[in-house]
Amino acid sequence: MRMFATIALLLGAYGLFAQDNSVTTVSILGCHSQDTPAPTIPYLVNTLKPDYCIWVGDNVYADTDDNPQYIQDQLNLLAAKPGFNQLKTQSKFFVTWDDHDYGKNNYGKRYKLKEESKQIHRKFWMLENEIPANHDGIYYSKIEVQPNGKKVQFIMLDGRFNRDRPIKPNGDAFGKNQWKWLEAQLQQPADVRFLVNGYQILLEKPTEWEALIKIGKSRKKLIDLLKKYKVNNALFITGDQHYVEILESDKKLGYHTYEIMSAGINTTEEPGHPANRVAGPDLTTHDATIIEIHWQAAPYLQVKTYNVETGQVNIDYRIELGDIGCKSDCNQK
């Protein structure tokens, strides 16, 4: 036994026997109706206990033409929800917005209260150090180093502040400054990257809902950046629709990845029917989505959605990190 233990130690020292089995957990929240109960929030606090929480937008419904205080008041209702302050203390928040917490349904750069809304967002979500007061939007990025040394990058996109409206064939979703900033972020070293946007990115065809494919060539430009820098570890996290689904990129994009769309933590709606859906839809009214990053020798992500009232797992989908990114056919054209 003593000889076996000695051999095991030697093998472990050379990385031949030991394996890192630690897990990083990330939850997704969004499309939260501030006027109805949200049991997902205390469920995350007491049961799932994620390391990180991504708020994907429509975190409250605060539509207004001329009253920034109304936006603040709706966020205050979120802050008063059971479990919210405990979750903020227990898990690290990463936050973007979509139209309804930006302040106006389907609006973009022409929203007249966008500066006031930005300052409210910075203060409420405690992002003054991440987002400068004179920033042209709320986009920011952070790399979180895990106890095992692995790096998770959260790239929080702003698809509202600089977005063209009305939408047109040569329209832009993000604005030139954000594109330049994003290009720099994609060159930072990381083991997993989550690109977070308030509305969907991998939908292949325009639908009645908002999606990046409807906004000029922004979707192609984003994918081309991933290909240009051979970013072999990027996934999309999005919101907007009131259910949960996982999309897989179409082969014609030349870049293989996934989108986890999870929103509507206390509401639901009739789902769409995208051809590239590989899991879902989960129409649970009170649901919680967790991404488990398993830091194995061959890392993978396990995406799970829970019915918070029953504890039942409705989606359980595995994504191999090694399958993501540029392959042999990923050259720019």
How much is the average pLDDT of 208-237? 94
Q: Which of 3-12, 169-178, 214-223, 300-309 has the lowest mean pLDDT?
A: 3-12
Alpha-carbon torsion 104, 106, 111, 113, what sign? positive
Nearest to 246 by CA among 175, 317, 330, 167: 317
CA distance 69 to 98: 18
CA distance 128 to 119: 9
Instruction: Identify the pLDDT of residue 261.
Output: 98
Cα 332 to Cα 65, 231, 249, 255, distances in angstroms: 43, 13, 17, 11
Extract the runs of DSSP E, i.e. beta strands, from the chain.
23-29, 52-55, 92-95, 140-145, 151-156, 192-197, 234-238, 244-248, 258-262, 277-282, 287-294, 300-307, 313-320
Q: Are 225 and 157 in contact (CB under 8 A)?
A: no
How much is the average pLDDT of 275-294? 97
CA distance 178 to 188: 16
Overall CATH class of domain 21-323: alpha beta
Confidence of residue 4 (pLDDT cuts 50, 70, 90): very low
How much is the average pLDDT of 29-55? 98
Q: Phi, psi (5° rounding) for residue 325?
A: 120, -160
Q: Is the pLDDT score of 15 beyond 50?
A: no
Give me the chain's average pLDDT, please: 92
The separation between the first and the last C-alpha atoms of the chain, rounded to the nearest angstrom, is: 60
CA distance 250 to 8: 45
How much is the average pLDDT of 221-227? 96
CA distance 279 to 260: 9
Instruction: Identify the pLDDT of residue 9.
Output: 40
Q: What is the CA radius of gyration of the chain?
A: 20
Q: What is the pTM (predicted TM-score) of this model?
A: 0.92
Alpha helices in the chain (DSSP H): 2-13, 40-43, 68-79, 84-90, 99-102, 114-124, 176-185, 218-228
What ranges do the domains of the chain cover?
A: 21-323
